Amino acid sequence: MDFGFTEEQRMVQEMAQNFAEKEIAPFIDEDEKNHHYRREILSKMGELGLLGWSIPEEYGGNGMGWMEGVTALYEIAKVHTSWRLSISGNCWGPAMTINKYGTEEQKAKYIPDLVSGKAVGSFAMTEANSGSDVGAMKTFAEDKGDHWLINGTKMWISGGHVSDIGLLYVATEEGGGPRGLSCFIIDYNNTPGVTRIPIHEKVGMWPAPTSELVFENAVVPKENLLGPLNRGFQICMWQLNNTRMGCAIGAAALSAACLEGSVNYANERIQFGQPIGKFQMIQQQIAEMKLEDEAAKHMVFKAAWLKEQGKPSQQETSMAKLFACNAAVHAANVAMKIYGSYGYSTEYPCGRWLRDAKQFETLEGTSNIHMTIVAGIELGYQPNR
């Protein structure tokens, strides 16, 4: 087992750190206050190759894989976890899935813009009445001979109203459940019949846009079906096994940010004539954060390593997401206590950490759903894919 970074990973780490410090950190307060999404950050990520992990170079990929991608996302998410969504939303979501299931024409047409940051990507499965129960989705694509006609509404779609290219999962078989779903590539700038509504009322992730997408007789070309008809559920699960890594790393990075902040604060804040870090109860809080932070990081990198080797990784991905999410929520909660009243002030990041940490318990599979995946594989009820 080698726990060290390769030369390439070290280079990527330094580049991502510099990028996040220069392009994201200076705008955090302003973007939080205004719930502002900066399109230009995505473009700059694309220019630096930060959106092209595990994508063939002929489609604009950066020639590097999961280990480097995870390293980069970790550094970016440590500064602000909202920006992890750009890597998931462009690279590990649509680009990687089109690369796996797409035709040569689809790959050549869509992947280069997603990895260069020219296009904003997204993926949409959730509906108002279909979250964990993906197979219950009602948005329907009807085969009209020379095109598909799509009707229905998607909810909670990251990047939905700013997206140029997105994966859309819909039903194509009346009453077919998971066996009647299909996946389409949507070119949002050229699809009539789609209304996109921003969801502003969110607890956290303020600079990351979230949307409702309404499809009313939306006309989609025949050639935009991704993969075989009625195989959308398998495609969706394959995609989630990749994009969930974004949540796992984002949560691990957030837990690291809370720990780093808390250590600095505990060394600076003087009470009873000494830094509060000298008090045993603060030390216990720091020790618990450190233990969870370290374990989360290891689980995330192990899942990435399995993916890099092409080995089954579903259970490890779910474990990493579940554990890192618990670590992030715990660390954010403890950080706010260690910072005392200043933790409750919006001038310090504790409130943002806590708000942003809570998302991980829900999106891309709730904690309960990840428990069922971990247990189901362990009990032999389903294979580890």
Ligand X SMILES: Cc1cc2nc3c(=O)[nH]c(=O)nc-3n(C[C@H](O)[C@H](O)[C@H](O)COP(=O)(O)OP(=O)(O)OC[C@H]3O[C@@H](n4cnc5c(N)ncnc54)[C@H](O)[C@@H]3O)c2cc1C
Q: Is 366 a residue that touches ligand X (CB under 6 A)?
A: yes
Nearest approach, Cβ of residue 126 and ligand X (Å): 3
Tokens at residue 347, please?
């001038």
- Output 35 or 298, the one with its CB closest to ligand X: 35
Q: Are residues 87 and 70 in contact, defined by beta-carbon separation less than 8 angstroms?
A: no
Pick out residues in 219-248 that bind ligand X (CB under 6 A): none
- Output 117 or 131, the one with its CB closest to ligand X: 131
Stretch that binds ligand X, among 222-230, 301-309, 322-330, 356-364 (CB under 6 A): 356-364
Q: Are residues 324 and 248 in contact, defined by beta-carbon separation less than 8 angstroms?
A: yes
- Output 9 or 367, the one with its CB closest to ligand X: 367
- Output 24 or 124, the one with its CB closest to ligand X: 124
Residue 192-211 contact track with ligand X, rule CB under 6 A, x = bound: -------------x----x-
Return the DSSP state at 61.
-
The half-sphere exposure of 14 on its side-chain side, counting CA atoms within 13 A, is 6
**Closest Cα to residue 316, out of 377, 255, 269?**
377
Beta strands in 108-247 (DSSP E): 121-124, 140-143, 147-158, 165-171, 181-187, 194-198, 210-221, 225-226
Q: Is 164 a residue that touches ligand X (CB under 6 A)?
A: no
- Output 156 or 301, the one with its CB closest to ligand X: 156
3-class SS of residue 2: coil
**CB closest to ligand X, residue no:** 131
Please spell the DSSP secondary structure of 33-85, one letter per residue. HHT---HHHHHHHHHTTTT-TT--GGGT--S--HHHHHHHHHHHHHH-GGGHH
Stretch that binds ligand X, among 46-54, 216-224, 261-269, 362-370 (CB under 6 A): 362-370
Residue 341, classified by CB atoms within 10 Å of its CB into exposed (0-12), middle (13-18) or buried (19+), is exposed
Q: Is 158 a residue that touches ligand X (CB under 6 A)?
A: yes
Nearest approach, Cβ of residue 364 and ligand X (Å): 5
As a whole number of Å, the CA-based R_g of the chain is 21
Stretch that binds ligand X, among 188-196, 212-220, 225-233, 361-369 (CB under 6 A): 361-369
Nearest approach, Cβ of residue 131 and ligand X (Å): 2
Looking at the chain, how many residues does it have?
385
Cα dist. 225→55, 169, 278 in Å? 21, 10, 61
- For residues 326, 211, 94, 312, the Cα torsion angle rounded to the nearest 10 degrees is 20
- Output 80 or 297, the one with its CB closest to ligand X: 80
Catalytic residue (choose from 212, 292, 316, 364): 364
Q: Are residues 354 and 333 in contact, defined by beta-carbon separation less than 8 angstroms?
A: yes
Stretch that binds ligand X, among 26-34, 66-74, 150-158, 375-383 (CB under 6 A): 150-158
364 is catalytic: yes
Residue 118-137 contact track with ligand X, rule CB under 6 A, x = bound: -----xxxx----xx-----
- Beta strands at 121-124 and 165-171: parallel, antiparallel or unpaired: parallel
Q: Is 157 a residue that touches ligand X (CB under 6 A)?
A: yes
- Output 31 or 364, the one with its CB closest to ligand X: 364
Q: Is 217 a residue that touches ligand X (CB under 6 A)?
A: no
Q: Which residues are catalytic?
A: 364
Q: Which residues bind ligand X (CB under 6 A)?
A: 123-126, 131-132, 156-158, 205, 210, 359, 362-364, 366, 368-369, 372
